[in-house]
């Protein structure tokens, strides 16, 4: 999979789908040559033209060679200060105040498998599943060295990259920037795709032509954030969901980041992706090392779905660990939108009784069970049950849920501290803070200083004590504010610039210790909804709450955007009440149910107050979900239509089971339209030679006036050719109602 040709200096990382090529020139420089569809041999047909570009500086050793300049060369990991004026991949500050170093190739190793990254989440692989190339670069003045780490997967169109710096000199230095990767393309005929949003509106897709100069998608919130996502793709303008070239970059990191593109003077494009340089200053004493997070580079020749399916497989098969990697996820009811803080033991027990009656599988007790927390002002950090609300403790509610045949789940927010808490009264210095300025609040809470080992130990011990105290099957791990005054009272001045990064490393340490101590517990991460929905989190917790917005229409958008990178099984998605608590929208139960069926399905409303008719509908949806669950959670996922295209009025998703025998198709239409075209859905991924029998058909309620007196299409038990469904398509019935949802199930015959 990885070869090095000594004569040409070509490094070629290759599998059946992709090639990634770069070249060692003049014994020093690593220059990017190609990334894309697989090439058997890279024979330099795409050679560099040695042009004398005016104003382009020469490195000292080639003073008289005016055609050799770093200003134009596509460096694999560029520094600054020697004439490459584009975005650098890293930055340093030396004790004398200067910022110039010079990293040259020294040697490399190629090994099978993929080494872990100490203290960091990263994709993993067995020895036969991947190959790893490590190139060691040395500074010409001996101050610094760097290892460029590349892994190519045998069966995925993905290369991972990361970098490890070592201070190999005699004096301390500061790392002021440390990207995980840099890639150069010879042109800029691309659209740039990013995921943007806000609280309750996470991960919408924006697609715009890539323009000149520098663009940046980044977070400075200390979390991967609701507003941005550590993902960027460049797609050819003609690329669609099913066809065309796309290059996706995704970071395995949960804190601040920056994904930059630069289209420079000659029209080439550079991507630099990794840690941002916002308040980042890593002090590297002699002999110390710094490991960057991992970046994933995915190439697809089969459109955006090809990229998404590769990322989904990477996450499911090479990132998520433990018992729940392949286990089906339970259908839950969460009491948050049902009761908020106003619950007691009887209320929770009633919910459990009703959940069991409806066929649900787990009861989750959300925020408000600890300290004296009856609103969001208090008690974070005091992880002791509130006996006034739950007189028989957590064991009482958990055991009563178990007796009813339900699993039991519990909410925590471990990285936080309320000023009104026993913890803060005992340890006011444990919050992130600066000495001479007051802390800013967000939701009345402060953030614990996870750079401190004693704080991390407290979190691990107090959370583990609760998990040992009752039969708990699931944990929802929340994180409800971003970082401000992000400094530590214990770090020395030269290390204050490390706080934001150390905070995330501390979070990972705590998560690793708690999740590995409870391998049977299913963990779901959350951050005020989907504010930390990133690959870093999925290394520790196999699913995440997608958004605090449970409105079906908004969720179709959020979940479509999220699926660009993350698989359906990673997304927590619940049916909530109408009018919806976030948007006031009234949508049919069927639409709410089908929308939530994209992800780990659940209910988040007071089910005890539903009418008998509603309960009957819920029972039908629950039975349907249980039947389709293996296909929905473990199958291959396709976006056929997304709200980011056209008028945004339609969404269609398709799932194909792992053995290809079952296909689930869903279609959603937001607003009914006059004079609307008839929608025909062309399916994807079917076997054109096979037949597909319709085994379930759930049309949206309400037929068109044009069809008055006409029954719904009789589709059940009809068999259609795979080729017909792929190439000709399936008609969707017209319905005169807003917020419609349709679902079809096919079985291959």
What residue ranges bind ligand GLA (CB under 6 A)?
A: 336, 366-367, 411, 478, 480, 526, 528-529, 545, 548
Beta-carbon contacts of residue 238 (< 8 Å; ≥ 6 apart): 244
CB-wise, 165 or 545, nearer to ligand GLA?
A: 545
Considering the complex, what minimum distance in angstroms separates the CB of residue 530 from ligand GLA?
8
CB-wise, 366 or 473, nearer to ligand GLA?
A: 366
Beta strand 730-731 with 522-525: parallel, antiparallel or unpaired? unpaired
**∠384-386-391 over CA atoms, to 5°?**
120
Considering the complex, what minimum distance in angstroms separates the CB of residue 339 from ligand GLA?
11
Q: Considering the candidates 367, 534, 548, 549, report the single residue annotated as catalytic.
A: 548
CA atoms of 342 and 349, how far apart (whole Å): 14
Q: Print burial letters for 14-24: b (CB count within 10 Å at least 16), e (below 16).
A: bbebbbbbbbb
Considering the complex, what minimum distance in angstroms separates the CB of residue 526 from ligand GLA?
5
Question: What's the distance, CA 184 to chain centroid?
Answer: 24
CB-wise, 34 or 411, nearer to ligand GLA?
A: 411
CA atoms of 147 and 191, how far apart (whole Å): 32
How would DSSP label each residue in 549-618?
A: ---HHHHHHHHHHHTTTS-GGGEEEEEE-SS-TTT-----HHHHHHHHTTSEEEEES-GGG--HHHHHHH
84 is catalytic: no
Considering the complex, what minimum distance in angstroms separates the CB of residue 652 from ligand GLA?
28
CA atoms of 19 and 41, how far apart (whole Å): 9
How would DSSP label each residue in 616-664?
A: HHHHHHHHHHHHHHHHHHHSEEEEEE-TTSTTS-EEEEEEE-TTS-EEE
CB-wise, 147 or 478, nearer to ligand GLA?
A: 478
CB-wise, 262 or 367, nearer to ligand GLA?
A: 367
Please give the structure tokens belonging to residue 95.
């004790």
Considering the complex, what minimum distance in angstroms separates the CB of residue 323 from ligand GLA?
24
CB-wise, 200 or 258, nearer to ligand GLA?
A: 200
Counted residue by residue, the chain has a size of: 749
736 is catalytic: no
* 3-state secondary structure at position 417: strand
CB-wise, 314 or 527, nearer to ligand GLA?
A: 527
Q: What are residue 351's phi and psi, to 5 degrees? A: -60, -45
Considering the complex, what minimum distance in angstroms separates the CB of residue 548 from ligand GLA?
5
Considering the complex, what minimum distance in angstroms separates the CB of residue 533 from ligand GLA?
11
CB-wise, 124 or 411, nearer to ligand GLA?
A: 411
**Short-list 313, 305, 316, CA closest to 639:** 305
Q: Considering the candidates 79, 256, 367, 478, report the single residue annotated as catalytic.
A: 478
**∠728-731-737 over CA atoms, to 5°?**
155
Q: 460: part of which helix (H) or strand (E)?
A: helix 453-469
* 3-state secondary structure at position 324: helix
CA atoms of 246 and 240, how far apart (whole Å): 9
**Short-list 386, 455, 389, CA closest to 416:** 455
Considering the complex, what minimum distance in angstroms separates the CB of residue 476 from ligand GLA?
6
List, by residue number, the catalytic residues: 478, 548
């Amino acid at each position: 999979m990885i070869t090095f040709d000594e004569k040409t200096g070509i490094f070629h990382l290759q599998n059946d789908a992709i090639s990634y090529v770069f070249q060692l020139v003049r014994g020093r420089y690593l220059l990017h040559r190609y990334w894309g569809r697989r090439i058997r041999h890279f024979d330099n047909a795409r050679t560099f033209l040695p042009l004398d570009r005016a104003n382009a500086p020469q490195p000292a050793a080639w003073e008289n060679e005016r055609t050799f300049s770093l200003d134009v060369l596509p460096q694999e990991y560029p520094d600054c200060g020697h004439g490459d004026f584009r975005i650098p991949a890293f930055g340093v500050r030396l004790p004398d105040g200067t910022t110039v170093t010079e990293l040259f190739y020294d040697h490399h190793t190629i090994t099978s498998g993929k080494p872990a990254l100490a203290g960091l989440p990263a994709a993993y692989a067995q020895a036969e599943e991947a190959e790893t190339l490590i190139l060691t670069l040395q500074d010409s003045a001996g101050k610094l060295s760097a290892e460029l780490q590349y892994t190519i997967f045998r069966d995925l169109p993905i290369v991972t990259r990361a970098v490890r710096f070592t201070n190999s000199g005699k004096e301390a230095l500061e790392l002021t920037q440390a990207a995980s990767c840099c890639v150069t393309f010879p042109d800029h005929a691309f659209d740039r795709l990013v995921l943007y949003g806000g609280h309750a509106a996470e991960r919408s897709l924006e697609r715009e032509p890539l323009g000149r100069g520098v663009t940046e998608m980044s977070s400075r919130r200390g979390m991967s954030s609701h507003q941005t996502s550590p993902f960027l793709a460049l797609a050819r303008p003609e690329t669609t969901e099913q066809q065309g070239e796309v290059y996706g970059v995704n970071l395995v990191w949960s804190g601040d980041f920056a994904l930059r593109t630069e289209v420079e003077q000659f029209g080439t494009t550079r991507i630099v992706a990794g840690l941002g340089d916002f308040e980042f200053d890593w002090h590297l004493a002699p002999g110390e090392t710094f490991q960057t997070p991992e970046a994933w580079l995915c190439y697809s020749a089969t459109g955006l779905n090809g990229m998404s399916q590769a990322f989904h497989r990477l996450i499911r098969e090479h990132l998520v660990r433990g018992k729940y990697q392949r286990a089906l996820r339970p259908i839950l009811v969460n009491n948050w939108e049902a009761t908020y803080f106003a619950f007691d033991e009887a209320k929770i027990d009633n919910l459990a009784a009703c959940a069991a009656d409806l066929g649900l599988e787990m009861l989750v007790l959300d925020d408000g069970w600890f300290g004296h927390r009856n609103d969001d002002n208090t008690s974070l950090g005091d992880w002791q049950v509130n006996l006034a609300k739950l007189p028989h403790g957590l064991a009482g509610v958990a055991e009563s849920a178990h007796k009813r045949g339900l699993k039991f789940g519990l909410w925590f927010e471990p990285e936080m501290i309320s000023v009104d808490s026993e913890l803060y009264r005992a340890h006011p210095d444990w919050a992130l803070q600066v000495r001479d300025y007051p802390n800013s609040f967000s939701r009345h809470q402060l953030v614990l200083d996870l750079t401190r080992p004693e704080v991390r130990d407290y979190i691990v011990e107090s959370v583990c004590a609760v998990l040992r105290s009752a039969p708990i099957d699931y944990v929802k791990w929340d994180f409800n504010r971003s970082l401000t005054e992000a400094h530590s009272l214990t770090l020395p001045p030269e290390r204050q610039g490390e706080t934001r990064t150390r905070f995330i490393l501390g979070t990972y340490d705590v998560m690793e210790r708690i999740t590995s101590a409870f391998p049977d517990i299913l963990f779901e991460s959350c951050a005020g909804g989907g504010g930390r929905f990133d690959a870093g989190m999925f290394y520790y917790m196999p699913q995440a709450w997608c958004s605090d917005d449970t409105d079906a229409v908004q969720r179709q958008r959020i979940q479509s955007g999220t699926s660009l990178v993350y698989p359906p099984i990673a997304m927590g998605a619940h049916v909530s009440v109408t009018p919806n608590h976030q948007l006031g929208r009234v949508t049919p139960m069927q639409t709410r149910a089908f929308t939530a069926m994209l992800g780990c399905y659940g209910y988040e409303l007071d089910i005890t107050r539903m009418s008998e008719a509603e309960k009957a509908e819920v029972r039908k949806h629950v039975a349907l979900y249980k039947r389709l669950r293996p296909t929905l959670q473990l199958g291959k996922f396709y976006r056929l239509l997304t709200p980011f295209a056209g008028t945004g009025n339609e969404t269609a998703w398709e799932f194909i089971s792992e053995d290809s025998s079952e296909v689930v198709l869903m279609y959603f239409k937001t607003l009914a339209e006059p004079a609307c075209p008839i929608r025909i859905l062309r399916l994807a991924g079917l076997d054109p030679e096979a037949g597909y029998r319709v085994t379930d058909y759930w049309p949206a309620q309400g037929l068109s006036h044009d069809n008055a007196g006409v029954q719904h299409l009789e589709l059940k038990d009809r068999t259609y050719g795979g080729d017909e469904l792929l190439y000709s398509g399936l008609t969707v019935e017209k319905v005169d109602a807003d917020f419609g949802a349709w679902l079809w199930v096919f079985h291959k015959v």
